[in-house]
Amino acid sequence: MTRSALHELSKLLASSERTVEGSMSKAKPSKERRAVQLTLSRVTRSSSAQARQGDPPVPKDASAGPQMAPNQGAQRGRQADSGLAQDLSLMSMSEQEAILPRHRSPPGMKSSRSPPRLASKTVRATVPRGTLNSVARLLTLGRCRNVLVVAGAGISTASGIPDFRTPGTGLYANLQRYNTPFPEAIFNIDYFSNDPRPFFSLAKELYPGRHRPNYVHYFIRMLHQKGLLLRMYTQNIDGLEQMCGIPEEKLVEAHGSFASASCHLCYTPFPAEEAKKFIMTDRVPVCTFCQGTVKPDIVFFGEDLPQSYFQHTKDFPKADLLIIMGTSLQIEPFASLVNTVRSTVPRLLLNRDPVGPFQRVPLRRGDYMELGDLLDSVRKLAQILGWHQDICDLIQDEEQKVALSLQAAGVSLWRR
């Protein structure tokens, strides 16, 4: 078959897939729409013990082979069609890879100087097929222009902030000094009401100003600068996303931040800077209205998530690529967000270990997973995309600005 015939066939299959999906979503409420409806009621933060919406249960024994229910035939057929469409489009991509700027070939990748005109089988063998290459290709070819990033504590470990659950270094493993009866108590609103000191001593470590954003944060900013970032949803409370220059309207801080503070009983606002001064000097800020303890507006277990979180009902159906980074996906309702993109949308997990729906075997079609150190994976992806040098320049510029402003304020760098 000629290349143009392949291209036509690929286009035909892709358009028939779109038609089938369009009519299906009208026929019955989709899984993601049900998830959205569920989350529209009052939404509080909770741990993973609560029921998960989203992905169906996965057969444990993958070696037993696929087990198809009688009514699954049509669905499988549709998947096979779109898989074929994907494969066909991959073949035609070998030429398009040559469009990538030559000087930007990542280390270890073949130069695209002379694009091979080969039969399809050979082409498949020469196109790099790794996870990051596949996702980079989607971005480079302009197939993904509405990228959602979902992130957790793992993106900030390279900035020196421990995550929760990593054995040995995670906060939960080192909570003895806070004297909490169980690890989650530190973010439990009733426990805080009774004794705010453990949370305040943790807050002293996390308050913005002590840590700097790292390469991973700047990669996300680069997604924004390239016009690709639809929104970033973060569980982090360290403020490093804003510090690296991701604009406020592109960011949802789902578990709150230190940027504002209020009474934990009557919610009367309290000046955030004043609350910080109290907490940094081991004093307890008290509400001027009801004498309740004031806390930074970090969302505790059992508290409502901020209004901005509800943008997910519009964002997730719109996304065409989801990147999940450095999270154990253990905290609801945030964790279930990853199941609310359309079923055909590629999802990339960058993490040390498989989490959430990426624990299923085999992975869902369109799911990609790169395990290992996040910084390494993100750097590799940036190199493949040809963004690495731009990110390094950006970091250098930003660090220089910070150094200059500190100098102007009379603070020497080594005291930071």
Complex with ligand CNA: residue 100 or 171, whichever CB lies closer: 171
Complex with ligand CNA: residue 88 or 171, whichever CB lies closer: 171
- Residue 212 beta carbon to ligand CNA: minimum distance, rounded to whole angstroms: 12
- Residue 115 beta carbon to ligand CNA: minimum distance, rounded to whole angstroms: 35
Tell me the catalytic residues: 255
DSSP 188: B
Q: What long-range pairs does 77-85 form, CB within 8 A, spacing at least 24?
A: 78/17, 78/20, 79/365, 81/13, 81/16, 81/17, 82/13, 82/14, 82/17, 82/344, 82/365, 83/365, 84/13, 85/10, 85/13, 85/14, 85/17
Q: How far apart are the first and last CA of the chain?
A: 64
CA-angle at 223, arms to 220 and 226, nearest 5°: 150
- Residue 207 beta carbon to ligand CNA: minimum distance, rounded to whole angstroms: 11
Residue 369 CA neighbour count, 13 Å, CB half: 17
DSSP 5: H
Complex with ligand CNA: residue 35 or 240, whichever CB lies closer: 240
Q: How far apart are CA 387 and CA 331, in angstroms?
A: 32
Beta-sheet pairing, 347-351 with 147-151:
unpaired
- Outline where 141-237 has alpha helix (H): 189-194, 197-206, 215-225
List the beta bridge partners of residue 45: 301
- Residue 255 beta carbon to ligand CNA: minimum distance, rounded to whole angstroms: 4
Q: How far apart are CA 51 and CA 57, in angstroms?
A: 12
Helix pair 388-408, 374-385: axis angle to 10 deg: 120
- Residue 314 beta carbon to ligand CNA: minimum distance, rounded to whole angstroms: 23
The residue length of the chain stands at 416
List the beta bridge partners of residue 44: 304
- Residue 335 beta carbon to ligand CNA: minimum distance, rounded to whole angstroms: 8
- Residue 381 beta carbon to ligand CNA: minimum distance, rounded to whole angstroms: 13
State the DSSP string of 292-321: PBEEEEEPPBTSBPPGGGGGHHHHHHH-SE
Q: How far apart are CA 163 and CA 165, in angstroms?
A: 6
Complex with ligand CNA: residue 93 or 309, whichever CB lies closer: 309
Binding residues for ligand CNA (CB under 6 A): 152-154, 156-157, 161, 163-166, 170-171, 235-238, 255, 326-328, 330-331, 351-353, 355, 373-374
Complex with ligand CNA: residue 10 or 351, whichever CB lies closer: 351
CA-angle at 379, arms to 212 and 387, nearest 5°: 95
List the beta bridge partners of residue 349: 324, 369
Complex with ligand CNA: residue 13 or 380, whichever CB lies closer: 380
Contact between residue 208 and residue 258 where contact means Cβ atoms under 8 Å apart: yes
Q: How far apart are CA 121 and CA 143, in angstroms?
A: 24
Complex with ligand CNA: residue 16 or 330, whichever CB lies closer: 330
- Residue 167 beta carbon to ligand CNA: minimum distance, rounded to whole angstroms: 9
Complex with ligand CNA: residue 285 or 326, whichever CB lies closer: 326
